[in-house]
Chains A and B, each alone.
Chain A
Amino acid sequence: MNFLSSYIYYIGAFGLIFIGLFIILVKHNLIKIIIGLNLLDTGVNLFLISVGYLHQGTAPIFGKGSQVTPASMVDPVPQALVLTAIVIGASILALALSLGIRLYDHYGTLDLTEVRGQKW
């Protein structure tokens, strides 16, 4: 239980990175590869936020009547970086899907083995 409580977030983040990379490497359909790219992005963001956590920490926001001291807040720098990274990931996904739509218009199929002419 002690091992699980220390590392459960890392296990979740590494699992998402593993499954995302596996889908990108093995699958043939272009839309499924793009879904795997989204999974990889989500896993990396989860890992970044879980690095900045503090035991018994609170959110870095001051309230009107609360007595939160700055010494007990979690790190605000990874949260600022991940906020930007989420929006950039979504816009890159839209650009990749538009390329997929043009590929389908030109070749008539989304299967990458037929487009590249590979055998395996």
Chain B
Amino acid sequence: MRDLLSIRGAIALGLLIIITLGLVFATADIPFGDPKSNVGTYYLENGRRETGAANLVTSVVASYRALDTLGEVAVLFIAATGLSAILAAGTKRIDRKLEEASLVLATGCRLFFPLILLFGVYLFLHGHLTPGGGFQGGAVIGSAFLLIYLGCRRRKVSNTKTDTIESMSGLSFVLIGLIGLMIGGSFFLSNFLPKGEFYSLFSAGILPLLYIAIGLKVGSEFAGIIDNMMEET
């Protein structure tokens, strides 16, 4: 409460009220719930015919706007590498007493770990048919590794394996795009694999392959981040 009544709090409150009023007046011309854009309408009407995916958000993320996904993969890689570089130069204090986990907790964590991994793999394999995809599946895989670090401390995930999987999947993402450039003509848009029939697992060209690469990359990235932050405890 002391923060609100100081000079800094009063100045911040005044500035923020001006900013919020500006935002409200700027969005008074955007009515809620009316059709607004033509690009979205084009993707909705032609997405099924051109890519063959049932999930139209997947066809936008991995086929029409795949360059933005490439940028996101690069940002994730830079953030994870920067984090491990910053934390490697610090001090490691091991002056805390650790308490051993009980038998029920350790056994339960080890039992749940492969089930959560299986669910994450299911999510990114069926990304073009149901809601889901590479990012969601990768986040579920990352939280499975978080469970291992919190529950049973004896099992440690090896550092070289996560680094190898992360680099290999990032490289294969770029390579699939380059192969499309050499064969078809445009960078990510040329589906050089056959489209297949609708609703089956092996349909929609290169979309499942791209999502497998993204899912493995995001999952191993989050596992590497958690491993770096819990290094000394």
Contact = CB atoms under 8 A, between A and B. Distances in A.
A6 B31 contact: yes
Contacts of A22: 12-13, 16
B33 A55 contact: yes
A105 B90 contact: yes
Contact of B60 (A80, A95, A98): A80
A102 interface: yes
Contact residues of B: prevailing secondary structure: helix
B61 A14 contact: no
Contact of A62 (B7, B9, B54): B54
B209 interface: no
Interface in A1-38: 6-7, 9-10, 14, 17-18, 21-22, 25-28
B30 interface: yes
B44 interface: yes
B76 A26 contact: no
A62 B48 contact: yes
A110 to B, nearest CB: 15
A76 B12 contact: no
Interface stretch (B18-26, B95-103, B111-119, B165-173): B18-26
B187 interface: no
A21 B22 CA distance: 15
Nearest to B27: A10
B146 to A, nearest CB: 12
Interface string A35-47: 0000000000000
Contact of A102 (B24, B30, B34, B86): B86
Nearest to B139: A87
A99 B22 CA distance: 33
A103 to B, nearest CB: 10
B40 A77 contact: yes
B16 A81 contact: no
Nearest to A81: B68
B69 interface: yes
B199 A21 contact: no
B183 interface: no
A70 interface: yes
Contacts of B4: 26
Contacts of A10: 27, 32
Contacts of A95: 79, 82-83, 86
A54 B80 CA distance: 38
7 contacts: A17-B20, A21-B19, A26-B4, A61-B55, A92-B79, A95-B86, A98-B82
Interface of A: 6-7, 9-10, 14, 17-18, 21-22, 25-28, 50-55, 59-64, 70-71, 73, 75-77, 79-81, 83-84, 86-88, 91-92, 94-95, 97-99, 101-102, 105, 120
Closest 4 CB pairs of A and B: A75-B40, A55-B33, A91-B79, A25-B12
Given A22-B16, A84-B72, 11 more contacts: A10-B32, A14-B20, A22-B12, A25-B8, A26-B12, A59-B131, A60-B56, A75-B40, A77-B60, A91-B79, A94-B79
